[in-house]
Amino acid sequence: MARERIIDAEARDVQEERYDLTLRPQSIDDCIGQEKLLEKITIALQAAKQRNEPMEHTLLHGPPGLGKTTVAHVIANEMGANLKTSSGPALTRPGDLMGILTNLQRGDVLFIDEIHRLPAVVEEFIYPAMEDFRVDFTVDSGMHAKTINIPLQPFTLIGATTRAGLITAPLRARFGIQHHLEFWSQEHLGQCLERAGGMLKIAYDSDAVALLSKCSRGTPRVANRLLRRVRDYAQVHGEGKITKEMACAALRIEEIDETGLDNLDRMFLRSLIETYNGGPAGIEALAATLGQERDTLEDVVEPYLLQIGFVARTRSGRVATEAAYKHLGLKYGGRKQSDGQESLF
């Protein structure tokens, strides 16, 4: 069974989603970070309200845990509309989407998570709904087949995805607003933690907040998760107040260092440096060495190591940088030839 990773940005269960929901901002003014996106949405919201129309369809893409679902809730609240949520894997046939679309009221917001996983038949079904607010639904089959044109109330579709490259060009072209969510800065993560601490009535030191924001891998969902773990530790082993010492002790139990790397991240770097002389090494070879799935390394481990400059991708494979050597306390000696033989040319 795979080991739980506290720094994994994917949502875990219903309980965690419920916890995040209590901390979720309800208006644009409450939002933190993503200034460019918030400015773009603020203008679109004001213009839509002045015209008394639904806001443009919006596509949000980026790594998990950065606030795509939160933005959808904020847009719905700002428009005074209802929010209907679904996901790409849950919509397997047009009939699944038909019931949702026909129940939407004017101005409602439909949020589809992992929209890149919509089946082709459902994706084509949603095109006229997005453009003309109507759907063509086929009943019966063969010579008795009939196509019924059903008008819809104007609505706003918000699509979210972690794999923007897998979205087809026709679907992408139908979104008026498209934005890539970036990893959060430590300053914004600190503000997020302070806001969450205030809402949960947690006593904390500024040094502890700075440490947690540094270890949160630029992801507010991870920051909130670390805050919960440290709060529990401070409640059991201290007086309930989160100090820097309490935060360090709690992170040590979770095997998370000051850069936000956990044991799997460090194993990845050590394998690349010690087994493959710093690289270049292929992802398949690293996956076999570590006993992990390739997708786990590419989607979960590598993105953050690339972001902080510990790993570089080349045409020949992955290469460990000097910063990775320093972080592990190893001497940086450059890469060696794999067999020690001189070049033939």
Question: Which residue among 156, 162, 243, 321 is the active-site one?
Answer: 162
339 a catalytic residue = no
221 a catalytic residue = yes
Please provide the distance, in angstroms rounded to a whole number, between the alpha carbons at the two ends of the chain.
49
| Spatial distance between the Cα atoms of 165 and 168, rounded to a whole number of angstroms | 8
| Spatial distance between the Cα atoms of 332 and 92, rounded to a whole number of angstroms | 52
326 a catalytic residue = no
Question: Which residue among 8, 113, 262, 265 is the active-site one?
Answer: 113
| Spatial distance between the Cα atoms of 274 and 330, rounded to a whole number of angstroms | 10
Determine contact, residues 308/216, Cβ cutoff 8 Å.
no
Instruction: Give every CB contact of residue 181 below 8 A, 6+ residues apart in sequence.
Output: 34, 37, 60, 61, 62, 63, 66, 67, 68
Q: Which residue has the tokens 């894997």?
A: 89
333 closest CA partner among 290, 273, 291: 273
Q: Count other C-beta atoms under 10 Å from residue 239's C-beta.
A: 9
113 a catalytic residue = yes
162 a catalytic residue = yes
DSSP state of 150: E
Q: Count other C-beta atoms under 10 Å from residue 58's C-beta.
A: 25
Question: Which residue among 5, 58, 68, 243 is the active-site one?
Answer: 68
94 closest CA partner among 128, 132, 121, 67: 121
Instruction: Give every CB contact of residue 236 below 8 A, 6+ residues apart in sequence.
Output: none
Question: Which residue among 117, 221, 231, 318 is the active-site one?
Answer: 221
Question: Which residue among 8, 58, 69, 243 is the active-site one?
Answer: 69
Catalytic residues: 68-69, 113, 162, 221
